[in-house]
Structure 1
Amino acid sequence: DNPHIILVLLETSATTVWSVCVTRLIAMISSPLVIFEQDKQYYTTHVKTVVDESILLTLDSRTTYQKMLGFGGAFTDAVGIVLQSLPKSLQNTIIEGYYGPNGLQYTIGRVPIASTDFSTHEYSYADTPGDFSLSNFSLTIEDWEYKIPYIIQAQKLSQNSTKFFASPWSAPAWMKTNGHMKGGGRLRGKEGGEYYQTWASYFVRFFEEYHKNGVDFWGVTVQNEPTSGLNPEYGWQTMYFSASMERDFIKDLLGPALKSSPYTKDIHLMINDDQRYTLPEWADTVLDDPEAAKYIAGVAVHWYEDEEVPAVVLTTTHDRHPDYFILATEACNGFMPWQGEPILGDWERAETYVDDIIEDVANWVVGWVDWNICLDMQGGPNWVRNFVDAPIIVNAEKQEYYKQPMCYALGHFSKFVRPDSHRILSKFDSTSHSGVKQIAFTTPDDRRVVVLINTNSVS
């Protein structure tokens, strides 16, 4: 049996060094969550508890680390399709539950540039072969129906405080060496040539068109998981960049193109957007070139290899490049074939989220962005059947949705660790507290926030 206990402690005094005796909870989940009573000092689940031993946790707000950006999720085509399978009132409830003042209070949103595997088909915004001038560039029905309305709603609910960033999966098929958006390949022609020039212009056109539809962006990544483009049999949209290719594309074309538009001149450009194993070398290659680095704000990283690659690579990346933030930009459960896609009510999946967030943030990550904010009962729709789990699962047949433990786990961070909070020094009195992990912050209103998780089991 796994307790999966997550606890938030709030302390409001101005004391710089604070010690608290935290009872180790060896507990069983006994009833639904009591969620988001923020005025209370202790914020946790309904549990049965027994005292095993005491843990002394000391916080020292005199020692501060990174400033936090926030938490959020992605607005894919699948999200919009699933939302529209519900009555409007439930659609509103889901978006309010994520971005509203009484919900998780997300402050980040990720938006794909054109199609992904979580679309119903491949499409780009410039599917006319040879259209180097992008004269036929156009957003699609997916943008107008499945993305933009919900993005605007989230922005309004957050009082325009949400930071949206975009990510491309692939250039149009005619621009790639393999002739398809799906599968490995790179941009055609020589680096810096007309295909690369058109691809840089494509970014700017995307942001200009979204601006016309009421959406402006805080950031953009150069390419989603660029190393997957090495695999010619890759199962969905992708495109290859090496670190040196990304560096040269940024400094010669993409950086200047973004600076040339009034809608993107201040955009936060992020490199990598791939797994931990690419770091710190990817960051070294790009950021050690001052002509590329001047256009870049941060390093994006995904979670899919986190169990294999230690988090110290994040700290190494920060130590070598302290002027650039590190943002975790994609995560989901159920992504391996044997993991079972959505598993309703699974607390272990909530635990993996909390564990990863604590580990990332302890190694200089400034925020953590989930993948799809909601999916259907199968974990889609997904045109290549790459079904996964999500914090909210929608049952269109019954016209209802289910908040997963992952949803509540994310709220323990997003609801309390507000933007511009700072991680602070926090440590237990000994190293013997196996299975109990914590991370601590000071908030802009001078609160101390501690998020703890007990992963111990009891029979």
Structure 2
Amino acid sequence: MLQQARTLNANLKFMANPWSPPAWMKTNGSMLGVFNGVTGTLNSGDYEPLARYFVKFIQAYQAQGIPLYAITPQNEPLYTPDSYPGMSWAASDENNFIKNNLSPALANAGLSPKIIPYDHNWNNTSYAYTLLNDATTRRDIAGISWHCYLGDPSSMAAVHGSFPGSEVYETECSTGTSEAPISTIDLLMQSVQNMARTVVLWNIALDPNDGPHTGGCADCLGVVTIDQATGNVTYRNDYYQLGQFSKFVVPGAYHIASNTLGSLADVAFKNPDGSKVVVAHNDGASNSNFQVLWGNQGFNYTLPAGATVTFKWSGTQKTTIAIQFSSVADCVKVKGIEIVPTLI
């Protein structure tokens, strides 16, 4: 399936996020996070074998034409489920694994996927700081990966502010469910506004019963629903919200810092070809009437309540203000001179 996907889009980037090491490497002898009441973590003698396991895994995928762009050492290391794979891993232990085992093993094998550890919620910045405060680990990892289920997306920007050279990745969120405190459009906008280079939704495709269900979240939804009996595909709201960005903002684009106009939220980008993209969302209960001004040019637009719109154009600007949203009551500027990290 991955090979087919890459045939359709050669620019796809693949990321691997293990939920658990093999059972024999863990203290509870199971791939479950908790088994027979025992919480599993990595055996002290299996750090080096796990690093070799990563090397062989990456090489095996490469041999099948699937290069891995990024890896996380452990999915959600602070959560130990008893109904599906997981593993408890203290920040200090994951840090030691990265700098003493994983990074050297990858280097010795000539492999260079981005290592983006933590891979857990916004509410625990101390885990990220433990990793980044170690100079060796900070050198070897690309940045920190985050999930959306607890905390606030501003945590990503806070950590990045302390370590500007560290990249930011939002690597999992199941929006529209009891598991997630944030809507898809807010996740997309606020992740970008808080330095994230990626936004990843969980899951991409499920059946009409939101399965297969392998434990954990009972109401997590797919970006699309596929009826295996008929072959019909139902495109959910998440699909279209992702499209508001992914159809227009291309790899290598820069996010241009922006703020909001009342209930109108917006994010702006500059693509490598110079084209500009603005995605706006009306979070209010009534229509939002506004102007988009760019230099000495502009247009009016009415955005219905709850709706999202994307604008894209090319050209050169005549003033220092790239983009301006205005209404009778207020004016908001998107600063064309403040540039933050590129999207992958």
Q: TM tier, shorter chain? A: 0.7 to 0.9
Find out whether 1:275 has 2:121 as its counterpart: yes
What is the correspondence of 1:283-432 to structure 2 with a 5 Å cutoff? Answer: 283-305=128-150, 309-333=151-175, 335-336=177-178, 352-384=183-215, 386-387=217-218, 388-428=220-260
1:247 corresponds in structure 2 to 95
Structure 2 distance, partners of 1:396, 1:371, is 20
Name the SS of the counterpart of 1:440 in structure 2: strand
Q: Which letter maps to 1:397? A: A
Count of residue correspondences: 282
By how many angstroms is 1:446 displaced? 0.6
Distance in 2 of aligned mates of 1:221 and 1:383: 21
Quote the sequence identity (%): 32
Is residue 176–residue 184 contact of structure 2 (8 Å, CA) maintained in 1?
no
Question: 1:113-138 CA deviation, whole Å, 9 max, x = no partner?
Answer: xxxxxxxxxxxxxxxxxxxxxxxxxx
| d(CA) in 2 for partners of 1:252, 1:385 | 32
Partner in structure 1 of residue 49 of structure 2: 198
- Cα 1:385–1:329, aligned 2, differ >3 Å: closer, same or farther? closer
Q: What secondary structure does 2:52 align onto?
A: helix
What is the rounded CA distance, in whole Å, between the counterparts of 1:238 and 1:318 in structure 2? 27
Provide the secondary structure at the position in 2 that maps to 1:228: coil
Distance 2:85 2:58 in 1: 20
Report how far residue 353 of structure 1 moved.
Answer: 0.6
Q: Residues 228 and 234 of structure 1 are in contact (CA less than 8 Å); yes or no, is this contact kept in structure 2?
A: no
Residues 447 and 334 of structure 1: is their aligned pair in 2 closer, same or farther, counting only changes over 3 Å? closer
Instruction: Write the distance in 2 (CA, Å) between the matches of 1:325 and 1:402.
Output: 34
Instruction: List runs of 5+ in structure 1 lacking aligned partners.
Output: 1-149, 340-348
Distance 1:384 1:310 in 2: 26
Structure 2 residue 66 is matched with structure 1 residue 215: yes
TM-score, normalization: structure 1? 0.58
Q: Provide the C-alpha distance between the structure 2 equivalents of 1:163 and 1:247, rounded to a whole number of angstroms.
A: 25
* 1: CA distance, partners of 2:194 / 2:186: 13
* Residue type at the aligned position of 1:236: Y
Question: Any unmatched runs of 5+ in structure 2?
Answer: 287-304, 306-344
Matched, 1:447 2:275: yes
Whether the 8 Å CA contact 1:187–1:196 is kept in 2: the answer is no
Offset, 1:156: 2.2
Amino acid at match of 2:59: E
Q: Specify the alignment match of 2:20 in structure 1.
A: 170
Q: Tell me the SS of whatever aligns to 1:358.
A: helix
In the TM superposition, what whole-angstrom CA distance separates every residue of 1:16-43 from its partner, at most 9, and x where no partner exists?
Answer: xxxxxxxxxxxxxxxxxxxxxxxxxxxx
After TM superposition, give the deviation of residue 440 of structure 1 in Å: 0.6
1:420 Cα deviation (Å)?
1.1
Is the contact between residue 28 and residue 41 of structure 2 (CA under 8 Å) also seen in structure 1?
no
Q: Secondary structure at the match of 2:128?
A: helix
| CA distance in structure 2 between the partners assigned to 1:395 and 1:312 by the alignment | 38
1:34-63 deviations in whole A, cap 9, x for unaligned? xxxxxxxxxxxxxxxxxxxxxxxxxxxxxx
Residue of structure 2 equivalent to 1:39:
none
Cα distance in 2 between the residues matched to 1:211 and 1:425 = 37
Name the structure 2 match of 1:100: none
User: Paired residue for 1:234?
Assistant: 82
Q: Distance in 1 between matches of 2:71 and 2:242?
A: 23
Give the 3 Å change call, closer, same or farther, for CA 427–302 of structure 1 in structure 2.
Answer: closer
| Structure 2: distance between partners of 1:182 and 1:284 | 27
Shift of 1:188: 4.6
Aligned residue for 1:294, secondary structure, equals helix
Where does residue 32 of structure 2 map in the other structure? Answer: 182
Q: Is the 8 A contact 1:333 1:390 kept in 2?
A: no
